[in-house]
Amino acid sequence: MADNSKQRRRSKRLWGIALVLSLVLLLGSVIYWVLSRRPWERSLNPSEFHTTYPSITTGLATTTLPADAQATSLPATETETGTETTQPPLADNPVDFAALTEINPDVYAWIYLPMGPEKPDIDLPVLQSRPEDNDNFYLHKDIHRNYLFAGCIYTQKANAKDFSDRVTVVYGHNMLDGTMFSNLVYFRDADFFDKHEFFYIYTPGHLLTYRIAAAIQFDTRHLLNSFDFSDDRVYQNWIQNYILEPKSMIRSVRKDVEVTTEDKLVVLSTCLEHGASRYLIQGVLIDDAPTK
């Protein structure tokens, strides 16, 4: 009888251990599934944005864009007829900024980077936090100012909203679902870089065209805090060492682009290697066209 009792106790312990192990494995499987799916990282992709807000834009992909612009200085927009000076008719601005600012007054620009037929375009509003908010307010906030891991495309308050600074840094997450700035990493491929030269930024009354001069992997330094681009020497060193002849193992350079301290840059910044480094797409302003 004593042996049977011991066997029953031993059997109960074994069943208990097996049950605990099964629960641990089940819990681990659930956690793994949640982390692998990462539902909180889902963002509003461009097609969903245009579906949700169909009146915001009239379809940038079908808009006539100055994609063949090769000028290194901004062209004149006025022509003279006899003694009169006339201006060409203004192009339509396909972005309804009035509707956007009704959704959120922090929206002040729209970025469009065509990626070709194989990959989704980067085609989203640009926001900047309010003075009372922190600089990275939209890192994990959607256009409605609600929590969203994917956040928004945004700039920080160190930059002016008219893109008049020497260097404007535009931030966006490198999302697992292919949205926000995740497609910037395709510029690491030399052929892709060669075929995609331009991105565009709309603001109320303007279409700004940028030619991509260089795409590089960079460290985690905050550009606007680490480099005083108002200093000519600092700016020239950046141009020389990170655009014309980048000191980066991963780099793509457009050799025929001339960049000087007279030029204005927009740097599109996203993370690589789970935040261990940054990937920077650097565009030089080549055209500022007025729009309706």
- CATH assignment at residue 244: 2.40.260.10
Give the count of beta carbons closer than 10 Å to the beta carbon of residue 40: 11
Taking all residues of the chain, what is their mean pLDDT, rounded to a whole number? 79
Residue ranges of alpha helices (H) inside the chain are 2-37, 46-52, 97-103, 190-195, 223-226, 232-239
- Identify the pLDDT of residue 212: 94
Angular region, 253: left φ>0, alpha ψ -120 to 50, beta rest:
beta
Residue 6 and residue 140 in one domain: no
Question: What's 242's DSSP letter?
Answer: I
Let me know whether 67 and 187 are in one domain.
yes
State pTM to two decimals: 0.75
The whole-angstrom separation of Cα 152 and Cα 140 is 7
Q: Which residue has the higher pLDDT, 51 or 8?
A: 8
- Two tokens at 115? 């990626």
Pair (143, 118) in one structural domain? yes
Q: Considering its fold, how many domains does the chain have in total?
A: 2
Tell me: do 27 and 135 sit in the same domain.
Answer: no
Backbone phi, psi, residue 258, to 5°: -100, 130
- Report the chain's terminal Cα–Cα distance, integer Å: 96
Residue 39: name the closest of 202, 123, 150 by CA: 150
Q: Are residues 23 and 144 in the same domain?
A: no
Q: Are residues 23 and 155 in the same domain?
A: no
**Residues 207, 173 share a domain:** yes
239: exposed, middle or buried (C-beta count within 10 Å: 0-12, 13-18, 19+)? Answer: buried
Q: What percent of the chain has pLDDT over 70?
A: 74
- Given a cut of 70, whether residue 235 has pLDDT beyond it is yes
Indicate if the pLDDT at residue 188 is higher than 90: no
- Contact 151/141 with Cβ under 8 angstroms? yes
Instruction: State how far the Cα of 122 lies from the Cα of 200, in Å rounded to an integer.
Output: 10
Same domain? For 80 and 177 the reply is yes
Same domain? 102 vs 15:
no
Q: Which of 9-23, 106-120, 178-192, 251-265 has the lowest mean pLDDT?
A: 9-23
Task: Compute the distance between CA of residue 211 and CA of residue 284 in angstroms, rounded to an integer.
Answer: 5
List the structure tokens of 241: 């060492």
Digit-coded pLDDT (tens) for 241-250: 999 877 766 7
The residue among 52 and 228 whose pLDDT is bigger is 228
Q: What is the pLDDT of residue 61?
A: 46
Regarding whether 22 and 148 lie in a shared domain, the answer is no
As a whole number of angstroms, the distance between CA 132 and CA 129 comes to 8
Are 105 and 53 part of one and the same domain?
Answer: yes
Number of CB atoms found within 10 A of residue 72's CB: 14
Q: Give yes or no: residues 237 and 139 share one domain.
A: yes
Domain that holds residue 11: 2-37
